[in-house]
Amino acid sequence: RRRAGAAIFTTGPAGGPGMFFGADCSRASRVLAPSAMSSVKTASPEEVQALVAEGYVYVDVRTEAEFSAGHPAGALNVPFSSKGVPNPDFVPVLERALGKDAKIILGCASGPRSLKAAKALVQAGFTNLVDMPCGFTGGRDEFGRPTPGWSQKSLPTETGTPAGQSYADMKARTR
């Protein structure tokens, strides 16, 4: 555990990846691994909304059913896993549809799947990734406190599978 000004950085087990806590502990950024630190950032739902307005693409890594039930407006659906089984097409679909240099935001329901998806994309060479750790429905921070997600912040949402946004559409898409 180290202090850097008013912030705190903790190392994980055996000196591995840790957590970074802001001075007020209101948000925490998860550090994936030393080599991935510069390639994956974290953002709150409000920050994600601003990034989307700047040209980032929001990729919802939840299942097709979860996506259809509700997602951030304009999000694309590429499931990372289904019932705990990784989707072997996740990386190839995103590489073919968006490219490794695309500005991508990853989100799930509450954070764990988008973090795993970010790790997989970093390993595949994607370079401009943002993870939204609180997800669509909200999660918990490192201290167990609730963190509101996209839908709880009253940000724009939609339901169903709008044309061009479904997993089937993403599988057929090429740059």
Question: Which residues are part of the catalytic machinery?
Answer: 108
d(CA 68, CA 70): 5
- For 35-142, strand residue ranges (E) read 40-42, 57-60, 71-72, 76-77, 81-82, 85-86, 104-107, 129-131, 139-140
Inter-residue contact 172 to 78 (CB < 8 Å): no
Helix (H, G, I), strand (E, B), or coil: what is residue 167? helix
Only one residue has tokens 């989307």, namely 52
d(CA 26, CA 147): 9
